[in-house]
Amino acid sequence: MKISEKAIKELIKLRSEKVKDPTKTLKIVTFPLWQGEGDFGIVIQERFDTDIIVKDNNNNEIISVDSHLSESVSKAKLDFKIINKMPSFKIDIY
């Protein structure tokens, strides 16, 4: 997965502000865990041994991916954009 610099900065910020429990992580998921727009979303969820961990160049955890999605998002691009004054992450898998 390729993650833009903007998305990395926002994910690090989000992790520091929202993920207080060390057993939890930011994770890319699908329905039923994701109820928003699109097929994929980012939620705070329990960390599992089977999760694929995406790290930055300094070996810091950025985000995890549920193992059954790893092939689907292996070539995906994750970006952060502000659309209509609303901040959002965009996952492009195509």
* pLDDT (0 to 100) of residue 18: 93
Instruction: Give the residue numbers spanning the domain of 76.
Output: 2-92
pTM: 0.83
Domain count, the chain: 1
Q: Specify the CATH number for the domain of residue 12.
A: 2.60.300.12
pLDDT tens digits for the chain (94 residues)?
899 999 999 999 999 999 999 899 999 988 888 888 888 889 999 989 999 998 888 898 899 998 888 888 888 899 999 988 888 888 887 6
Distance (Å, whole) CA 14 – CA 42: 11
d(CA 10, CA 31): 23
85: left (phi over 0), alpha (psi -120 to 50) or beta: left
